[in-house]
Amino acid sequence: MAIWWTRSSRTIANHIRKCMNKGFMGGAVVKQSSWSSTVQSCSLSSLSSHRLVPQNCSYLHSLPCNRATLFSLQRFKSTVAEGQLDSFFSSDSDDEQLNVLARQSLDFPGGKVTYTSEMNFISESSHKRIPCYRVLDDDGEIINMNSDLQQVSKEVAVKMYSDMVTLQIMDNIFYEAQRQGRISFYMTSAGEEAINIASAAALGEEDIILPQYREPGVLLWRGFTLQEFANQCFGNKADHGKGRQMPIHYGSKEHNFFTISSPIGTQLPQAAGIAYSLKMDNKKACAVSYIGDGGTSEGDFHAGLNFAAVMEAPVIFFCRNNGWAISTHVSEQFRSDGIVVKGQGYGIRSIRVDGNDALAVYSAVSAAREMAINEQRPILVEALTYRIGHHSTSDDSTKYRALDEIDYWKLARNPVNRFRCWVQSNGWWSEQQETELRKSIRKQLLQAIQVAEKTEKPPLTELFSDVYDHLPSNLQEQEKQLRETISRHPKDYPSDVSV
Amino acid sequence: MRPFSTATCDIENQQSAKSINLYSAINQALHIALETDPRTFVFGEDVSFGGVFRCTTGLADRFGKSRVFNTPLCEQGIVGFGIGLAAMGNRAIAEIQFADYIFPAFDQIVNEAAKFRYRSGNQFNCGGLTIRAPYGAVGHGGHYHSQSPEAFFCHVPGIKVVIPRSPQQAKGLLLSCIRDPNPVVFFEPKWLYRLAVEEVPEHDYMLPLSKAEVIREGSDITLVGWGAQLSIMEQACIDAEKDGISCELIDLKTLIPWDKETVEASVRKTGRLLVSHEAPVTGGFGAEISASIVERCFLRVSNFIYFVLLIEYYREPIQFFFIESQAFHCTNNLILAPIILNILASTLKTQKEENEKNKKVQTMLTCLCGDKRMHAAEWN
């Protein structure tokens, strides 16, 4: 709860003290009231940061340049100034100077705001769109060796690439399985392999994932097996979710991956709560919540970001901006410059990253994680990418978007190919390894599907269990009724469900 | 990790008790909850300074601002945040300032909190979540400070809905809700916050959930209600007694999962049922009770009154109707007592007549139904 208080005159300071004694605006204020500067008031983005000290003078030019403000800056660079305050106020001439300052700024709850006589509306957008951070060029070569690139070892890089390929093959095979009618539904992550795997690779295992639904790669990275994926999609009794949800709604306690729910934004405020718990436990871990571009229009996006900012909770909000929310184009979703600019509105540090550049995603998420945990604050990451596949198996995206747009992203901007170029250029990967990997994964997946298909469905009792920790009498009654009905009409019930 | 709500304590064996009102009882329960479990958090709008109804008075001072804190004004955020906290093994006590404003959080409650355990195959749960919200009319609240939205939540398996009738009940039930391993919506009758005063044991005690209580035994008719309505119904019982009508009064306390057995047993005895609630008639929880009881003891009920009261306080002059309408106006809850009494009197006046009619119906049904054994138990 970083609320900035500045004081420019004794009167105002006393007024604030009085207010605080009445319980006005909370106690956090007291701790921070020693800061005094006009800097905060001219830089709204700094309002949420109690670590920002007025040493960075790059934005001083935006201040109204007068003796009073400069004086104020010189005198109050640190908390030491608190002790000097009383003697400072005792001088009449100083009082005068402060009065000048007071006339030029508004001491408002939340921080001082300077006055201006010019009527300026803030522009709806900046002239230039926020640039997109990338490390690899289109050919998979590192653009600038001196960039803030996080080093990736051979072992990690090879695992990243292997998992990206595995994700691709898993998507293809499960998609086909759905087309053959063997599973009811599927969603691919095609085009977003780098986001899935690289973001997961940059996190620690103890970081808690709150997925949306197009991030199975995070689970894959953490060691969820192909058999476990298959069990969920087939809804058999080995599924951790007991066959209750539609395919792709994975969840794994073991892998700190909260079970997916279909609503698209509900995980965001929950992430703030989870992160707050990590904060209370002094854990060196953060919560990571994924969301799509469409999800950012939900009220939960606002709730999640605002809560995390105010509670100073270590969360990474990772937005996969893939251009389309089913058939809704981003231009019909929002009029801002994407998602990254929304962070500032909440006082959240944000970055835009090329989601099809695995190294850029890795670097950005590594840095985001470090800031989130070390500084106990939320970070917003917007990854620009493209949903190459249809929204789901129930969708045909050629009805609303051009084929050549899909092809461009599939071929020219393919994240897996780009990363492969880089891995290969390091001498870490060969054509032979590629062939062997693809063959092996394919085989494992077909085997997993066969096993999953043969495994029986969860028994009838699982229809009622886990609604509460114990089965209440009303559900006991309903279960009994159902069993009686089934025993009267056994032919009307599926034979593969044990009663 | 924590005791289940069934681990209750005998209020009779209280060590010491003080006369306090309902908001103070809530406050005591919150103090105990925070004190007995360091992983308990209390948060919501204006909670930090004590809350607009003073229920959280003194908590932030005693337990610190990291455990008792204000949140931004965003109900879906409050509940979502609470689910996250609870999912990490904490007891999250979220306050929604008025039940009228709980609807932005409906998605988080219905799609998230209620399904958290089920959808994950019991890998995860947010059972430590308790959502407190003041509900009901007080006399000057208008549309948006008077509603009783309990029925919306009673249609949601996976959560519990609990409403206390008095200070003593409020403390014991709230502690049970907080410690229950399932998410609970706890509606507090704000009409009674200051009005209801009762001896409340000072120690830590819990009252069982999903257990109704027969507050007053009687033989002519069963009255079922919850929360603030109980005081009205109790008055009606007293008035009815003067007219020679013996009423059995039941406080349901937990609306889901509710205690059908206690209500059923009573109706089997009295043969009549009256349900009264403040919420609108159509789709109200009274309909659920009446349907269930009809299903269970149809042939025993000689006089079935599914009767629900809607009170909306937003304009004078006073008008009151017994059918659902958007035009219900009333300025004092107590007006209901004589109304209930009238209903009781007119019902029982025709008791003889109806008994005979019922006999005829039963004979007719016996003839119609081939299977006499099935109903034999019902008649005796």
Last residue of a domain, one of A92, A114, A136: A114
Active site residue B145: yes
CB contact at 8 A, B159 and B184: yes
Domain final position from A114, A137, A166: A114
Q: Which domain holds residue A100?
A: 2-114
Give me the pLDDT at residue B13, please: 56
Mean pLDDT score of chain A: 85
State residue A335's pLDDT score.
95
In chain A, whose CA is at the least distance from the CA of B292? A474
Q: Is residue A134 assigned to a domain?
A: no
Q: Which long-range contacts (CB under 8 A, 24 or more apart) does A100-109 make?
A: A100/A66, A100/A68, A101/A8, A101/A38, A101/A68, A101/A69, A101/A72, A102/A8, A102/A9, A102/A12, A104/A64, A104/A66, A104/A68, A104/A69, A105/A8, A105/A38, A105/A41, A107/A6, A107/A7, A107/A8, A107/A12, A109/A3, A109/A25
Residue A324: both structure tokens together: 């389309």
Question: Would you call A100 exposed, middle or buried from its count of C-beta atoms within 10 A (0-12, 13-18, 19+)?
Answer: middle
Name the closest residue on chain A to residue B71, using Cα atoms: A307
* Mean pLDDT in residue range A456-474: 95
> Residue with structure tokens 């009238």?
B342
A91 is catalytic: no
Q: Do B83 and A270 touch (CB under 8 A)?
A: yes
A97 & A160 share domain: no
Is residue A128 a part of any domain in this protein? no
Query: Which of these ranges, A344-348, A357-361, B2-6, B90-94, has the smallest mean pLDDT?
Result: B2-6
Task: Classify residue A146: in a domain, yes or no.
Answer: no
A135 part of a folded domain: no
Per-residue DSSP letter, B113: I
A359 and A315, same structural domain?
Answer: yes
B48 touches chain A (CB under 8 A): yes
Query: In 3D, which of B174, B229, B238, B166 has the Cα closest to residue B198?
Result: B166
How many Cβ atoms are within 10 Å of A259's Cβ, its own excluded?
25
Angle between helices A226-234 and A154-179 in degrees, nearest 10: 20
Which range, of A252-266, A471-485, B354-368, averages the lowest pLDDT?
Answer: B354-368
Q: Which residues pair with B34 in a beta bridge?
A: none
CA A279 – CA A317 distance, rounded (Å) = 16
In a domain, A419, yes or no: yes
Query: Is A391 annotated as catalytic?
Result: yes
Name the percent of chain B in helix, strand, coil, to the closest 5.
40, 15, 40
Same-domain check for residues A78 and A206 = no
Does a structural domain hold residue A72? yes
Tokens representing B310 are: 């809607």
Helical packing angle, B285-297 and B260-270, nearest 10°:
60
Shared domain for A265 and A322, answered yes or no, is: yes
Q: Which of B31, B45, B145, B277 is catalytic?
A: B145
Whether the predicted pLDDT of A81 surpasses 80: no
The whole-angstrom separation of Cα B283 and Cα B287 is 6
For A401-422, give one letter per residue: b (16+ CB within 10 A) or e. Answer: eeeeebeebbeebbbbbbbbbb
The ipTM of this complex is 0.84
SS3 letters across B140-188 = CCCCCCCCCCHHHHCCCCCCEEECCCCHHHHHHHHHHHHHCCCCEEEEE
d(CA B317, CA B56): 36
Q: Do A449 and A383 sit in the same domain of this protein?
A: yes
- Amino acid letter, residue B166: S
Higher pLDDT, B351 or A21: B351
Identify the domain boundary among A114, A144, A177.
Answer: A114
End-to-end alpha-carbon separation of chain A, Å? Answer: 54
DSSP letters, A430-481, are: -HHHHHHHHHHHHHHHHHHHHHHHHSPPPPGGGGTTTSSSS--HHHHHHHHH
Question: What integer is the mean pLDDT of A106-123?
Answer: 93
Residue A238 in any domain: the answer is yes
Structure-token pair, residue B317: 């002059």
CATH number at residue A338: 3.40.50.970
- Which one, of A352, A355, A317, A344, lies nearest residue A132 by Cα? A352
Domain tally, chain A: 3
- Work out the average pLDDT over A94-102: 69
Does residue A96 share a domain with residue A22?
yes
**For the CA atoms of chain A, what is the radius of gyration?**
28
Q: How far apart are CA B235 and CA A187, in angstroms?
A: 60
* Residue A321 to residue A294: CA distance in whole angstroms: 8
CB contact, 8 Å: B131 with chain A? no
- CA pair distance A204, A285, nearest whole angstrom: 7
Residues of B in contact with A276 (CB under 8 A): 81, 84-85
A193 and A101 together in one domain? no
Residues A160, A284, single domain; the answer is yes
Pairing of strands A111-114, A105-108: antiparallel
Nearest CA-CA distance, residue A343 and chain B, Å: 17
Specify whether A319 is located in the same domain as A210.
Answer: yes
| Mean local confidence (pLDDT), A31-43 | 36
Among the listed residues B296, B236, B248, B237, the one whose alpha carbon sits nearest the alpha carbon of residue B272: B248
User: How many other C-beta atoms are found inside a 10 Å radius of the C-beta of residue A280?
Assistant: 17
Residues A363 and A251 in one domain: yes
- Give DSSP secondary structure letters for B52-72: TTSTTTTHHHHH-TTTEEE--
Q: Does B219 touch chain A (CB under 8 A)?
A: no
Q: Comparing C-alpha atoms, which of A136, A133, A105 is closest to residue A41? A: A105
Chain A residues in contact with B160 by the CB 8 A cut-off are 468
Task: Identify the bridge partners of residue B188 per DSSP, sorted by sequence position.
Answer: B134
Backbone angles phi, psi at A248, to 5 degrees: 75, 0
Tens of pLDDT, residue by residue over A148-198, are: 778 899 999 999 999 999 999 999 999 999 999 999 999 999 999 999 999
Choose the catalytic residue: A262, A327, A394, A425: A262
By CA distance, what is B81's nearest residue in A? A273
Tell me, letter by letter, the H, E, C secondary structure of A159-196: HHHHHHHHHHHHHHHHHHHHHCCCCCCCCCCCCCHHHH
**Do residues B109 and B153 lie in contact, with contact meaning Cβ atoms separated by under 8 Å?**
yes
- A251 with A381, same domain: the answer is yes
pLDDT at A267: 98
Question: What letter would DSSP give residue B207?
Answer: -
Q: Which amino acid is at A340?
A: V
Q: What is d(CA A102, CA A129) in angstroms, rounded to the nearest whole number?
A: 36
Task: Check whether A64 has a pLDDT greater than 70.
Answer: no
Burial of B375 (C-beta count, 10 Å sphere; 0-12/13-18/19+): middle
- Which pair of tokens denotes residue A291? 């969301």
pLDDT tens string, chain B, 380 residues long: the values are: 344 344 455 555 557 899 999 999 999 999 999 999 999 999 999 999 999 999 999 999 999 999 999 999 999 999 999 999 999 999 999 999 999 999 999 999 999 999 999 999 999 999 999 999 999 988 778 888 889 999 999 999 999 999 999 999 999 999 999 999 999 999 999 999 999 999 999 999 999 999 999 999 999 888 999 999 898 889 888 888 888 889 999 999 999 999 999 999 998 888 888 888 888 878 889 889 988 888 887 665 555 544 444 333 332 222 222 323 222 333 334 445 555 666 666 655 555 555 555 555 455 444 443 333 333 333 32
Look at A244 and B49 and tell me if their CB atoms are within 8 Å: no
Lowest mean pLDDT among A350-354, A466-470, B157-161, B274-278: B274-278
Nearest to A28 by CA among A20, A18, A38, A40: A20
> pLDDT tens, A268-280?
999 999 999 999 9
Report the alpha-carbon distance of residue A137 to residue A486 in Å, rounded: 62
Quick one: pLDDT at residue A95? 72
Q: Among B65, B112, B181, whose Cβ lies nearest the Cβ of A261?
A: B112
- Residue A66, pLDDT > 50, answer no
Full set of structural domains in chain B with CATH: 11-201 (3.40.50.970), 213-354 (3.40.50.920)
* Catalytic residue list contains B329: no
Is residue B344 within a helix (H) or strand (E), and if so which, with residue range? Answer: helix B336-349
Does residue A137 form part of some domain?
no
Q: Same structural domain for residues A322 and A444?
A: yes
Q: Which residue has the higher pLDDT, A483 or A495?
A: A483
